[in-house]
Amino acid sequence: MKVGKRLVLVFVIVSVLTFGTIGAYAFDIGSILKLFGIGYLVKMIADPLNRFINGITFNKGVGPRYATKVVPIVSVGQGGYIGAAQVTGRRAAVNRVKAVAQIEATFQGLRVKILIPIDSINPLSRFRRVYGVGVSAVIDIRL
C-alpha cells in the first residue's frame, strides 16, 4: 500500500473513532464516517482478501460463469456492526452486489443473523436483493 493511501486510511480510521464518540449529532456524522471508512478499507483489501478466501475454500478455477467478491456488510436492526462478506454466484449477479445487509432478530430466545446480498451500499435508501448470490464468508474488522 502506498504511503499516501496509508495516510488517508489512518485519517479515516482516526476520524471514525473520534467522531463516533461525540454526542448525538456527531453520532450521525460518525456513522457516516464509519460507513465510508470501512467501505474504503474493504475496497482496498477486497481483491487480496477474496483470493485468500478462495484459496482456503478451494474456489480456484470454478469457471468463467461463476465469481466471488468481497463487499462491506451493512447492519440493520439490533446494534451496528461493521465488517465484510464474500459473496458467490453467477458472475452477472455477483457484479450487481454492492454490499450485504445483515439483519439481526431474535426467535424464541435465539439470536438470528440474516445476510442478504443487496445492490446498494446504503440500506436506508432504496435497495434490492440480488437473487442467485450467496454469502460464503464473513469477515470481522476490529476497530
CA angle centred on 4, ends 9 and 16, rounded to 5°: 20
- pTM for the predicted model, two decimal places: 0.69
**Residue 137: how many other CB atoms lie within 10 Å:** 19
Query: Is-contact 100 72, C-beta < 8 A?
Result: yes
Mean pLDDT of 43-56: 88
pLDDT band of 104, cuts 50, 70, 90: confident
Query: Considering only CA atoms, which of 101, 23, 117 is closest in space to residue 31?
Result: 23
Rounded to 5 degrees, φ, ψ at 86 are -100, 130
The per-residue pLDDT for 36 is 63
pLDDT in tens, 51-103: 999 888 887 766 778 899 999 888 765 555 568 999 999 999 999 999 998 88
Radius of gyration of the chain, Cα coordinates, nearest whole angstrom: 16
**Distance, C-alpha 84 to centroid of its chain:** 3
Highest mean pLDDT among 37-51, 81-95, 118-132: 81-95
pLDDT band of 2, cuts 50, 70, 90: low
Name the more confident of 36 and 51. 51
Report the percent of the chain where pLDDT is more than 90.
Answer: 28
- What is the edge-to-edge ordering of all strands in the sheet holding 66-77? 110-118, 99-107, 66-77, 82-90, 133-140
Question: Which residue is listed with cell 452477472?
Answer: 92
Query: Considering only CA atoms, which of 58, 127, 130 is closest in space to residue 87?
Result: 130
Name the more confident of 70 and 34. 70
Report the percent of the chain where pLDDT is more than 70.
Answer: 62
Query: Is-contact 100 87, C-beta < 8 A?
Result: yes
**Residue 24: how many other CB atoms lie within 10 Å:** 6
